[in-house]
Structure 1
Amino acid sequence: MDTRNTLHARRYARGAIRPVAIAIVGVIGLIAAGAWLLIFKPHEDMALSDSGGHPSTPVTAGKTAAPTPANVGAMSLNELLSEARKAMNDQRMLAPAGNNAFEFYLKVLEKQPGNQVAADALRETFPFGANSAEQAINQRDFNEAQRQIDLLAKADPANYTLTILRSKLDAQRKLQDREQQQATDKERQQQLAAQKAASDKIEADRLAAEQQKTALAAEQQKAAQARAAQQQAESARQQAMAQQSATAPTGGSAAGGAGTHGPVLVKGGQPRYPTAAMRSAQEGWVEVSFTISPDGSVANVKVVDAQPRHVFDRAAMDAVSHWKYEPATQGGTPVASERQQRIEFKLN
């Protein structure tokens, strides 16, 4: 008995709930239909009436945006609502400037502040307009974004979404300014680096030119010193030859074996050619001065000049040290004398 009562109560409850749910769905449908009739249907009908169509004929979506109408300020309410509806159909919520739904609805409210159709349309389409403004911000079209935000503010100045959009627009502008400043700083750094590189190259070229000039001057000075030394050696040689000629014995004194005469070489000899010079095929000469003792031996051998220096000096001194002379005489008495001789080193 209790079981039958319970099942009956459950069936009764389900039967009572079903009509309530159906009633709720119906109310929601009526509200949606009413909103469509109040907001969009009047504009669709007027747009179709203006174009010669029947209000029941559906409007084709995705039509090409119409050109900006002329003399918008002189339009009637119906004309403005019709243009607004066309803009809605073309998805021209906030753009282009002067030919969008928001501006047409705002013109309607200027002419008739209490127009419920325009006010409802602006309220319902506000989120779509905010989305359009946000896209303009993301695309960094800041002037267009500011225009759209200002347009949204005319429709609903107290909407908190405007605060968010303005904050985002300000942040994006600052970000762009920072990026531009960073790009400017980077470009400036690159320019400074290029200028420094060019300056360093100029300085390096200048130093290289100075070094080359210094090296050339040193070579010229060395060559001048070599010429002066050679001239000095030649002058000394000529002076020695003149002195030798002046002290040479005359024919009469030599024949008599008495009187005054200069030294006469009795035993000479070629110097030893240095091995290192021979291997490198070097040639040169050495100018030596020496003393001929009264007994005809050679002493005090010194190098006066040489070319090249320190290559043949030792060989020349060794050779001259072993020479033997008939000493110079003065009044028939052997005396010491000084002499200077150039020793040539040439390869056969």
Structure 2
Amino acid sequence: MVPRHRLAPRHALRGTIQPVTLAVIGIVAALAVAAWFLIVQPYLAATATPNAASSVASRPASARETPPANVDSLSLDQLLSEARAAMNEQRLVAPKGNNAFEFYMKVLEKQPGNPVAADALRETFSYGAAAAEQTINQRDFNEAQREIDLLAKADPENYTLTILRSKLDAQRKTLDREQQQAVDAQKAQQMAQQTAAAAAKQQAAEQAAEAQRQQASREQAARVAQQSTQAPKTPVAATPRPAAPDNDQITDAVLVNQVKPRYPTAALRANQEGWVDVELTVGTDGAVSNVNVVDSQPRHVFDRAAIDAVSKWEFKPAMRNGEPMTVNLRRRLQFNLGR
């Protein structure tokens, strides 16, 4: 048997150990509770179950573009869930009111220093900046400015913001320059069109004036020819035409372009006047050929001048039943000094 004097200290030792054990157990329990709230719960919130993420991602696009109702009334867990859904759907900084950055910042507004929101904003800042840069390149400048301002709320000292603002300013200036160039090009095109229209109008006016001059010249030539044929100073016998059947419709050749003969220099110096009778053939095209002098007074003085002039005459051809025909004519040319 154990001596009684040895059992008494052992019982006393047991009495002293029990309070210490209870204290240790209480400390361990307190640490466990603190670890749950400070470590385990934030970790579980950051790594939600795939089913919850998939349920958010499976919403219709129209629902995801609309911010949740009463965002201010959402709990931290609900805000973190919305933020994770936005991250999965690449809604980092847009659309307005329904993006990951705004949800995480709302978490920090409700719980400053929240490690999940703070870490998420820090780790995804570069991706949000890339999304803002893409918006700048798409030249949606108002939206780009909003996204830059949102990034500045998350990390106001980040140097990337300076780069984004510089790019936004450069793109705005580029767009202003392109718009000004487009306006200048449009003005230049309008000026060119107006100049071309004015030139065309002037050309049309010149052509009309030239046509009027030619018409007046033809009418003058026709009047001269008519006067020459109707009132010759000396009657000239026309070459007899072959007899035509009574049912033939024949019209005479009409002089339409009469070239005046050049007055010979020798005759002009000698103060000579005279006349020349010529025979000529008018073809079906109205051209003159076979010009011959049949008589002249004085002889051989005005012959060459008369032949040269008559050879350049133009006629409207004679017609038989509406068809042009060749005829022989005789004409007298007068050479007077014009006293």
> What is the TM-score normalised by the length of structure 1?
0.53
Residue 310 (str. 1) matches residue 306 (str. 2): yes
Distance 1:40 1:89, change over 3 A: farther
Q: How far does residue 160 in structure 1 lie from its aligned partner after superposition?
A: 1.4
Residue 183 (str. 1) matches residue 179 (str. 2): no
Q: How far does residue 159 in structure 1 lie from its aligned partner after superposition?
A: 1.5
Residue 87 (str. 1) matches residue 89 (str. 2): no
In structure 1, distance between residues paired with 2:185 and 2:331? 72
In structure 2, distance between residues paired with 1:38 and 1:134? 37
Q: How far does residue 280 in structure 1 lie from its aligned partner after superposition?
A: 5.2
- Which SS does the other structure have where 2:307 is aligned? coil
For the Cα contact (< 8 Å) 1:94–1:100, is it kept in 2? yes
Report how many residues are paired. 228
In structure 2, distance between residues paired with 1:93 and 1:129? 6
For the Cα contact (< 8 Å) 1:62–1:89, is it kept in 2? no
- Which SS does the other structure have where 1:221 is aligned? helix
Superposed counterparts of 1:212-251, under 5 Å: 212-234=211-233, 237=235
Q: How far does residue 203 in structure 1 lie from its aligned partner after superposition?
A: 1.7
Distance 1:201 1:287, change over 3 A: farther
In structure 1, distance between residues paired with 2:191 and 2:294? 63
Distance 1:273 1:196, change over 3 A: closer
For the Cα contact (< 8 Å) 2:281–2:291, is it kept in 1? no
- Which SS does the other structure have where 2:214 is aligned? helix
Distance 1:87 1:301, change over 3 A: closer
Superposed counterparts of 1:18-33, under 5 Å: none
Provide, for residues 9-44 of structure 1, a one-character-per-residue CA deviation record: whole Å limited to 9, x for no partner. xxxxxxxxxxxxxxxxxxxxxxxxxxxx79983434
For the Cα contact (< 8 Å) 1:137–1:145, is it kept in 2? yes
Residue 41 (str. 1) matches residue 37 (str. 2): no
Q: How far does residue 202 in structure 1 lie from its aligned partner after superposition?
A: 2.0
Provide, for residues 179-226 of structure 1, a one-character-per-residue CA deviation record: whole Å limited to 9, x for no partner. 222233223323332332232222212211110011101111122233
2:173 partner letter: K
Q: How far does residue 148 in structure 1 lie from its aligned partner after superposition?
A: 1.0
In structure 1, distance between residues paired with 2:43 and 2:289? 118
In structure 2, distance between residues paired with 1:302 and 1:162? 109
For the Cα contact (< 8 Å) 2:57–2:88, is it kept in 1? yes
Superposed counterparts of 1:67-86, under 5 Å: 67=64, 68=66, 69-86=68-85
In structure 1, distance between residues paired with 2:140 and 2:308? 92
Provide, for residues 257-288 of structure 1, a one-character-per-residue CA deviation record: whole Å limited to 9, x for no partner. xxxxxxxxxxxxxx997899999545799897
In structure 1, distance between residues paired with 2:308 and 2:134? 96
Distance 1:117 1:277, change over 3 A: closer
In structure 1, distance between residues paired with 2:73 and 2:55? 28
For the Cα contact (< 8 Å) 1:134–1:165, is it kept in 2? yes
Distance 1:149 1:42, change over 3 A: farther
1:311 partner letter: I
Q: CA RMSD in A?
A: 4.4
In structure 1, distance between residues paired with 2:278 and 2:216? 35
In structure 1, distance between residues paired with 2:278 and 2:232? 22
Superposed counterparts of 1:291-302, under 5 Å: none
For the Cα contact (< 8 Å) 1:39–1:120, is it kept in 2? no
In structure 2, distance between residues paired with 1:39 and 1:145? 36
Gaps of 5+ in 2: 1-38, 237-275, 310-328, 333-339
Partner in structure 1 of residue 256 of structure 2: none
For the Cα contact (< 8 Å) 1:81–1:108, is it kept in 2? yes
Gaps of 5+ in 1: 1-36, 54-58, 239-270, 291-299, 314-342
In structure 1, distance between residues paired with 2:133 and 2:167? 8
Partner in structure 2 of residue 164 of structure 1: 163
Identity of aligned residues (%): 49
Distance 1:41 1:200, change over 3 A: farther
Q: How far does residue 151 in structure 1 lie from its aligned partner after superposition?
A: 0.7
In structure 2, distance between residues paired with 1:39 and 1:345? 130
Superposed counterparts of 1:62-141, under 5 Å: 63-64=57-58, 67=64, 68=66, 69-141=68-140
Distance 1:95 1:273, change over 3 A: closer
Distance 1:106 1:137, change over 3 A: same
- Which SS does the other structure have where 1:91 is aligned? coil
For the Cα contact (< 8 Å) 1:39–1:121, is it kept in 2? no
In structure 1, distance between residues paired with 2:41 and 2:291? 119
Partner in structure 2 of residue 18 of structure 1: none
- Which SS does the other structure have where 1:310 is aligned? helix
In structure 1, distance between residues paired with 2:308 and 2:88? 113
For the Cα contact (< 8 Å) 1:133–1:148, is it kept in 2? yes
